Structure 1
Amino acid sequence: MDFDIMKIPRNFILGAAASAWQTEGWAGKKTKQDSYLDLWYKNNKHVWHNGYGPAIATDFYHRFKEDIVLMKEIGLTHYRTSINWSRFLLDYESVIVDEEYADYTDQVINELLKNGIEPMICLEHYELPGELFETYGGWGSKHVVDLFVKYSEKVFERYGDRVKNWFTFNEPIVVQTRVYLDAIRYPFEQNTKKWMQWNFNKALATAKVVQLFNQKGYKERYGSKIGVILNPEVTYARSSAKHDIEAARIYDLFFNRIFLDPSIKGEYPPELFELMEKHDISFDSTENELQIIKENTVDYVGLNLYFPYRVKARTTAWNDSTPFHPAYYYEMFDLPGRKMNPYRGWEIYPRIMFDMAMRMKEDYGNIEWFIAENGMGVENEFRFKNDEGIIQDDYRIEFISDHLKWLLKAVERGSNCTGFMLWAFTDNVSPMNAYKNRYGLVEINLEENRNRKMKKSAYWYMNLIENRELQIHKDVFR
């Protein structure tokens, strides 16, 4: 078969990502420092696959130096993780820093820089303090927004001289969608209005933290940037019929534009206000808050893309006795013959990279952006070990390669995409799935003291980073 070579620009980020709660474990955690995820695990442990949760995770807290050696060996240019808000402070109201955890974070950042790896730090990756969730209702509270800004200020003061890439949230829509819209996660409350308020308050929190960041002059002093990491659901209508197109448009409005527009454009689509009013789910906002959002947009965005979302117009009547849900306007659609990841139940459609990239170029002012997560989760990977005990994850290599091809094609077409971050550096704990589906370049062996071992994909990624060349079939874009 004929092959072509795609050149990867030298300044194009090739890194990997994780989060604090999915890697660190609870070592050193104080009694009142539970996050929302910790509360969920403690109160609902049986839904976590085989009972694994954040208690030990990958034990990064003790083994970060070992992991950073592996990052350097692979050649990662950047590593994205988070600071655990629930652990960074001893008192969330008076913003008293936990020096033990802050010193650990200092060590991680310094170790990354010493090894030539640029840290990218997120201020909240589902790590809302449990105390604030139970006392104030979490992100439903404007007071929690203000406490988040105060926490952010402490973090910037501590690490702003070394960290150049900052993000307010990772996937700010996810927790409340699982809890308050679909009611499938602890504490299982269906409340669409509360879902909408969380959405707004997180957008407001991003704008307020951006405002603080700019007022403190971190860009001028250190050349730093601040953004947000979103997970837009690249949406395709079932058909070209008007009713299907309309269903996809409204889906996009509720699940994508609800964060893309305020973060990048500084405003919400007018139709969103109309639909919120129609269905009595309007968020509480003031003119001053909307002005803060308007004046404090992000410098860049990270996008987490895994699979497409396909929708069609409703074919069954909506049950009016149930609370409003955006599904009032659509149904999900399974494309016949689609390629699937059978372990995760997700469609594999690499073209989402190109289509989202073109949207960022055409609809969002060609703002700087990058892929903050993309990867493939597979169950029982030990089946694929060779005689040397190395997992032969050719399926992951194919998945990454196919998505990168479409991403680089978009870069060639002028989309302002500056990099690709793989999820994940190591296998790590995921909500509910725990270690069921493995995503890492590096295996975490649960049976052998969580020992690390690079998979075949790690060696492939190492070669990709060093040579900056991606081999593709000549007919790949047909």
Structure 2
Amino acid sequence: MYKPNYPHDFPQDFLWGGATAANQIEGAWNQDGKGLTTAEVVRRASDRKKMSMGDVTRASIEAAVADTTDTHYPKRRGNDFYHRYEEDIALMAEMGFKVFRFSIAWGRIFPNGDDPTPNAAGLAFYDRVISTLEKYHIKPLVTLSHYEMPIQLTLKQNGWASRATIAAFTRFTETVFTHFKGRVPYYLTFNEINTGTWGFHETGALDDGLSADAQLQLRYQALHHQFVASALATKQLHTIDPAAQMGCMLARMQTYPATPKPEDVLAAQQADQRNLFFTDVQARGEYPEYMNRYFAEHHIQIAMQPDDQAVLKANPVDFISFSYYMTTVTAADQGAAINGNMATGGRNPYLKESAWGWQIDPIGLRITLNAMWDRYRKPLFIVENGLGAEDKLEDGQVHDSYRIDYLRAHIQQMKEAISDGVCLLGYTMWGPIDLISFSTSEMSKRYGFVYVDQDDEGHGSLRRIKKDSFAWYRKVIASNGADLN
């Protein structure tokens, strides 16, 4: 007789930790041979609810390159992880981290993107970071491209719009895989690759002045080059370091139909397809049929080399990772929209919002996990999730019960999804130590368990101060998710 059973707890080897990006934490933007990157030419946003990433032009890049300060470019200073990594990793170890997600900045290894030899000082820095992680038995999870390609590749060949960028990237990845062989068990290729449909920050390709359809043509062509580069990097990794695993990374934008009206259900399905298109290609190894009509209706023609499809098919990723911050509502006749983490959709009257207008939906994470597990049957990894808030330092303390409430609700839904049968590898919340916001380059939008004494203008001692959530997350990890009180 069949007696059904199901897991009631997190797996014993569950990977608890936190996630960051080089361009939001490191600083030292002009030290030890590092080259300027796409992230470091984007000015701080004037409106915290409006991303500044779409305001980049060749003229603005040239002005940024000529500016030798960090006054208007906060990602150049980060939170000084470059000089404080030992202290920061010790704090992660105190919380009990099993894994730490960070990116290796392409511009630290190849300052111009296609230099003849790698920058030894850049490799040495990441050697020191990984050695410190090894000291505390924390596994590295390395993102290879996290919105920080060398800006010279934009100026030289318009970034990923050029097929030549594939060769530059795979030289970088081969260097990384060879140098760190046996020390990094998990890699991700492109962070939130689907956001390349929004433009410059992901692809490093300028498309200002083009019509809407011409912009889409350029962006999807650039993303095709990234698909091929991802597949080739996966092939490299499996050859150079067979014990390591490669994952893709999606900004998951779960959307609900605004009503049961069939037109709204169809609109939501189509929005979801355009989101999952990217994991379909990287996990299944082929372009899905449903995009053919979308491409045709928007006059998009993907230029492929004869063996591109075979390369994609032969080299799918080993696991699927994604960020999850919010859900949206989609209607066939979309009215007023909300924005968050590059997701655009209607407001859901049943959800609360953060101070930045991001709708908070823990149950949506369970829905997402189940849908993606059913679709791909590959291990899943939540590599970003967190609450950006204006934390207040009072009498040397930060009482962030709102962050604890947010994380508790999402972790509870992760546990429910595991009981549903989802294979979930781990959870790296964003970002464990306060860092520069991606979308607006603010410091005052804080996510961490650790407060960093720095304001939006870069003033402050950079002292690290544990928030109330620090002790709470330490307890969560120590109990393997059993104690969420």
Q: Name the CA distance, whole Å, in 1 between partners of 2:113 and 2:311.
A: 24
Unaligned runs of 5+ in 2: 1-7, 44-59, 336-342
For residues 443-465 of structure 1, what are the alpha-carbon distances to aligned partners after superposition, in whole Å with 9 as ceiling and x for unaligned?
11115311101111111000111
Q: Say if 2:297 is the partner of 1:278.
A: yes
Pair 57,180 (structure 1): closer, same or farther in 2 beyond 3 Å:
closer
Is residue 2:445 matched to residue 1:445? no
> In 2 relative to 1, CA 175–271 (structure 1 residues): closer, same or farther, beyond 3 Å?
closer
* DSSP 3-state at the match of 2:286: coil
* Corresponding residue for residue 80 of structure 2: 59
CA contact (8 A) 2:187 2:245 kept: yes
Equivalent residues in 2 for 1:115-154, closer than 5 Å: 115-154=136-175
Seq. identity, %: 27
Unaligned runs of 5+ in 1: 1-5, 317-329, 474-478
User: What is the letter of the counterpart of residue 104 of structure 2?
Assistant: I
The answer to whether the Cα contact below 8 Å between 1:373 and 1:420 also exists between their aligned partners in 2 is: yes
SS at 1:382's partner residue?
coil
Instruction: Give the secondary structure class of the aligned counterpart of 2:141.
Output: strand
For 1:280 and 1:467, the matched residues in 2 are separated by 53
Per the alignment, residue 252 of structure 1 pairs with 272
Give the aligned partner of residue 392 of structure 2.
Answer: 382
Structure 2 residue aligned with 1:357: 369
Alpha carbons 2:475, 2:483 under 8 Å: kept: no
Q: Distance in 2 between matches of 1:210 and 1:55?
A: 30
Give the match for residue 228 of structure 2: 204
Alpha-carbon separation, structure 1, partners of 2:344 and 2:437: 27
Structure 2: which amino acid aligns with 1:243? E
1:338 to partner: Cα distance: 2.3
The letter for the 2-side match of 1:78 is V
Counterpart among 18, 21, 25 of residue 20 in structure 2: 18
Going from structure 1 to structure 2, the CA distance change for 1:180 and 1:410 (only over 3 Å counts) comes to closer
Partner of 2:473: 461
Provide the C-alpha distance between the structure 2 equivalents of 1:438 and 1:357, rounded to a whole number of angstroms.
26
Q: 1:377 Cα deviation (Å)?
A: 0.2
Aligned partners of 2:38 and 2:149 also within 8 Å: yes
What SS class does the counterpart of residue 378 from structure 1 fall into?
A: coil
Q: Is this contact kept in 2: 1:34–1:86, CA < 8 A?
A: yes
What is the DSSP-based 3-state SS (H/G/I as helix, E as strand, rest coil) of the residue aligned with 1:351?
helix
* Matching residue of 1:409: 416
How far apart in 2 are the matches of 1:410 and 1:315? 31
Give 1:199-278 correspondences, 5 Å limit.
199-216=223-240, 218-219=241-242, 223-254=243-274, 256-278=275-297
Aligned partner letter, 1:382: K
> How far apart, CA to CA, are the structure 2 residues paired with 1:245 and 1:162?
46
Do residues 297 (structure 1) and 305 (structure 2) align?
no
Q: TM-score, normalised by structure 2?
A: 0.85
CA deviation vs aligned residue, 1:374-407 (integer Å, no higher than 9, x gap): 000002x116x3x4x2211111101011001111
Which one-letter code corresponds to 1:128 in the other structure? M
Residue deviations 1:85-127, cap 9 Å, x none? 0121145334411111110110000111111111111111011
- In the alignment, the residues of structure 1 paired with residue 443 and residue 301 of structure 2 have an alpha-carbon distance, to the nearest angstrom, of 38
- Give the AA of the match of 2:387: M
Matched residue, 1:3: none
Distance 1:20 1:186 in 2: 25
2:444 to 433, 436, 444: 436
Q: Does structure 1 residue 339 correspond to structure 2 residue 352?
A: yes
Aligned residues: 440
Q: Deviations over 1:126-185 (max 9, x none)?
A: 11110101111111111101210111000111112211111111112225515499x9x9
Counterpart of 2:352 in structure 1: which amino acid? K
* Per-residue CA distance 1:208-231 (angstroms, 9 max, x = gap): 111122233x12xxx211112211
Counterparts of 2:171 and 2:344, CA distance in 1? 41
User: Deviations 1:290-313 (Å, cap 9, x if unpaired)?
Assistant: 111111100012111000021100
Report SS of the residue matched to 2:362.
coil
Give the distance between the partners of 1:402 and 1:32, measured in 2 at CA. Answer: 40
Q: Please state whether the residue corresponding to 1:448 is helix, strand or coil.
A: coil
Q: In structure 2, do the counterparts of structure 1 residues 243 and 39 end up closer, same or farther at CA, with 3 Å as the change threshold?
A: same
Structure 2 CA distance for aligned equivalents of residues 15 and 149 of structure 1 = 28
Determine the structure 2 residue equivalent to 1:325.
none
Q: 1:186 to 1:69 in 2, by over 3 A?
A: farther
Query: With structure 1 as the length reference, what TM-score do the two structures score?
Result: 0.86
